[in-house]
């Protein structure tokens, strides 16, 4: 039964009734991850990629206090242009709803609302994780949410500004499978080379759907499907490290930490790379949305076969 406090777009509601595949899309990349007008362009391209894969896109946000699954184009535009959009992790959903805020949802909050809408697949750029040793202690709520909410998150691994081996260790401790889409390495967002090994390699959307469905049947909750950034836009590791070192120095000098740190570093990296990281980010977001549509369709086929 759907949560009564959710607002669904007409298209999403119809897709649920008709048991069509759906993909939830997080909205912090619109409000906080990319600049105008790239943010709106990327949001529209991600939705188009989901449709091209035969699924229905459901961009998730909190709209003036109402948890919303399936934003209109007008709402996407407002998220992209409004200067004071609240950034809501799972912890912040109550505040966003109770105080009537306009809020963009992180991966963890998107998972919560997607699950409430019976959506099993979510797409994003890169998940959060454990920050590097030189940064203040910071573990993303995305990791804990993956351990308690049965949603498959399609991503390009964790953001490359993070401590990826530690992130993988935490995911293992929490019992979260990390599936590599045609890769044995854990992708590093828009960096060409991964860092660490995935727990399982899959070669197709159907294999990913089968593994996730089995994981949930056994009492597991969320899982990750990690796809490397497309090779033609991926950033070489040595260049990225030099840019990141300078970005971190700027962050420390400015006293940037906590929720503001990731958007700050990503903006710094985009500036230092002459926009290359931004292009890679945009490209992998769209690629992940398309893969998520394929997996959502495969999960639907599995359910149909099981019922038959």
Radius of gyration from C-alpha coordinates of the chain:
18
The pLDDT-based confidence of 252 (bands split at 50, 70, 90) is: confident
Average pLDDT score over the chain? 94
Other residues' Cβ atoms within 10 Å of the Cβ of residue 306: 9
Q: In sequence order, what are the residues at sequence separation of 6 or more whose Cβ sits closer than 8 angstroms to the Cβ of residue 160?
A: 126, 188, 189, 190, 191, 240, 244
Average pLDDT rounded to a whole number, residues 205-209: 98
Length of the chain: 308
Task: Give me the pLDDT at residue 16, please.
Answer: 96
Place of tokens 């509601």: 13
Over pLDDT 70: what percentage of the chain? 97
Task: Give me the pLDDT at residue 144, please.
Answer: 97
Task: Provide the annotated active-site residues.
Answer: 26, 159
The lowest-confidence range among 49-58, 197-206, 267-276 is 267-276
Q: Is the alpha carbon torsion for 261, 264, 267, 272 positive or negative?
A: negative
Task: Give me the pLDDT at residue 38, please.
Answer: 96
CA distances from 299 to 69, 200, 224, 247 (A): 20, 18, 15, 41
Q: How far apart are CA 147 and CA 176, in angstroms?
A: 6
Domain range annotation of the chain: 7-307
Average pLDDT rounded to a whole number, residues 207-232: 97
Query: Between residues 88 and 192, which one has the greater pLDDT?
Result: 88
Query: What are the backbone dihedrals phi and psi of residue 206, each rounded to the nearest 5 degrees, phi first?
Result: -65, -40
Record: fold of 7-307 = Indigoidine synthase fold (3.40.1790)
State yes or no: pLDDT of 25 exceeds 80.
Answer: yes
Summarised one tens digit per residue, pLDDT across range 136-176 is 678 999 999 999 999 999 999 999 889 999 999 999 999 99
The angle at the Cα of 170, spanning 169 to 171, to the nearest 5 degrees, equals 90
Nearest residue to 227 via CA among 129, 297, 156: 156
Task: Give me the pLDDT at residue 259, please.
Answer: 72
Outline where the chain has alpha helix (H).
10-17, 28, 38-52, 73-81, 93-98, 107-116, 141-146, 164-173, 205-217, 237-254, 261-272, 276-307
Summarised one tens digit per residue, pLDDT across range 173-185 is 999 999 999 999 9
Q: How far apart are CA 136 and CA 103, in angstroms?
A: 25
Average pLDDT rounded to a whole number, residues 57-69: 98
Global model pTM greater than 0.85? yes
Summarised one tens digit per residue, pLDDT across range 90-122 is 999 999 999 999 999 999 999 999 999 999 999
The pLDDT-based confidence of 134 (bands split at 50, 70, 90) is: low
Q: How far apart are CA 288 and CA 122, in angstroms?
A: 9
Summarised one tens digit per residue, pLDDT across range 278-307 is 999 999 999 999 999 999 999 999 986 664
């Amino acid at each position: 039964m759907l949560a009564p406090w959710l607002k669904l777009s007409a298209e999403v509601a119809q897709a649920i009734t008709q048991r069509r595949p759906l993909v939830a899309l997080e909205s912090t990349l619109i409000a906080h991850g990319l600049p105008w007008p790239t943010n709106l362009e990327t949001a529209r391209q991600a939705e188009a990629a989901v449709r091209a894969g035969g699924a229905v896109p459901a961009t998730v946000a909190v709209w003036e206090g109402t948890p919303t699954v399936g934003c209109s184009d007008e709402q996407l535009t407002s998220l992209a242009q409004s200067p004071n959009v609240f950034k809501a992790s799972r912890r912040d959903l109550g505040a966003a709803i109770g105080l009537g805020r306009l809020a963009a949802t992180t991966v963890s909050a998107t998972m919560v609302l997607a699950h409430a809408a019976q959506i099993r697949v979510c797409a994003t750029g890169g998940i959060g994780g454990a920050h590097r040793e030189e940064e203040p202690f910071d573990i993303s709520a995305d990791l804990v949410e993956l351990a308690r909410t049965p949603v498959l998150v399609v991503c390009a691994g964790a953001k490359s500004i993070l401590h990826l081996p530690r992130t993988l260790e935490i995911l293992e401790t929490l019992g979260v499978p990390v599936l590599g889409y045609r890769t044995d390495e854990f992708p590093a967002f828009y960096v060409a080379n991964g860092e660490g090994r995935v727990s399982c390699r899959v070669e197709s959307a159907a294999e990913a759907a089968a593994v996730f469905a089995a994981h949930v049947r056994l009492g597991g909750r969320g899982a990750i499907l990690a796809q490397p950034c497309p090779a033609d836009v991926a950033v070489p590791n040595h260049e990225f490290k030099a840019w990141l070192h300078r970005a971190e120095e700027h962050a420390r000098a400015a006293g940037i930490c906590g929720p503001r740190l990731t958007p700050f570093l990503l903006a710094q990296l985009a500036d230092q790379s002459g926009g290359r990281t931004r292009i890679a980010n945009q490209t992998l977001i769209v690629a992940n949305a398309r893969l998520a549509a394929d997996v959502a369709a495969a999960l639907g086929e599995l359910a149909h076969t099981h019922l038959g």
